[in-house]
Amino acid sequence: MNILVFGKTGQVARELQAYAQVTALDRDQANLNDPAGCAAVIASQTPAIVINAAAYTGVDAAESDHVQAELVNSQAPKAIAQACAAFGIPLIHISTDYVFPGGGERPWKPSDATGPLGVYGATKLAGEEAVRAAGGPHVILRTSWVFSAHGRNFVKTMLQLSETRDALNVVSDQIGGPTPAAAIASACIEIADQLRMDPHRSGTYHFAGAPNISWCAFAQEIFARARRDVTVTGIPSSEYQMVAVRPLNSRLDCSTTTKSFGIDRPDWLTGLDRVLEDLGLASQTRPEVT
C-alpha cells in the first residue's frame, strides 16, 4: 500500500517512517505554504492513502502569526483534501484537542460542540471543516499532548530543564492524556488499512493516551522514571503566563475509535519508558498512575 505522508521531520511523521513503508515529503518536496503545490504532488503520485502529519504547531506564535497558521493549518489541508477527494484517495488528517473550549471535566466526544480558545485551535478547526467539506473518504484524528524522542515536546523540555534545575513549578489544573507519537503512527496505519477497505468509516475520531493526568503529575513521572532528582510543585495556570490560553480540560473520549477500528487508548507510561530508552536514559518502572 503506497502511503504518502505530508511532513517528514515532525514527531508523528518520524514515527510513521520508522513504523511502516511510507513516502514522507519534506518541505522541498511539498511545502504547506504552497497548498496548490501539495495538491499537485497528490495528483502526480496518486497514492493509496494520504496522511497529513504536518501542521503549524506554535500555539503562542500563532497568536501574532495568524496568516501563516491559517495557511498551513487550514488552506493546505483544504487543498490536500480536495485533491484526495478528486481521486478517491482516503485521507487521514491529524488534529488536536485545542479545537474545544477546555471547560468542565468530562472527556470531549467527537460530536461535542467546538470552541477554540486561540488562533492555533481556530486554524486547526478550520482545517477539519475543510477536510469534511471536500467530501472524500477521510478520518480526522484528534489527539493531545504528543511526545517522542524527536522534536520539541514536554518530555524533552522537562529533561532539558532538569540538567540545570532541581526544582520546577508546573501547572496542575490542566488535565489530559499524554500520547506517544509512536502510538499515533501505529493507529494511523491501522486506520488507513481499514478506511481503504471501508470508506464508510469516514468521520472524526479521538486518540489519546491513558490514563489522564495533569502536566504537574506527568512531569513528576518523567523525572521519577528518568531518575532525575527534581522537585515539582503544582501551580494554577493563572500563575504561569503564556501568550495563548490553554484548555484546562484536554480529556478526549476515544470510545468511538475503539468501537470503529478496534484501537484502544495507548498506555503512555509504556510509551514514556520507550522514549527514555531512545534518549539513552534508563527508565525506572514504577506502579501505574491512577
Catalytic residues: 120
Whole-number Å distance between alpha carbons of 149 and 189: 20
From the list 213, 147, 157, the residue with the least C-alpha distance to 182 is: 147
From the list 171, 172, 253, the residue with the least C-alpha distance to 208 is: 253
CA geometry: angle 62, 125, 196, nearest 5 deg: 125
109 phi and psi angles, rounded to 5 deg = -90, 155
From the list 11, 12, 6, the residue with the least C-alpha distance to 185 is: 12
Single-letter residue type at 161: L
Whole-number Å distance between alpha carbons of 265 and 255: 9
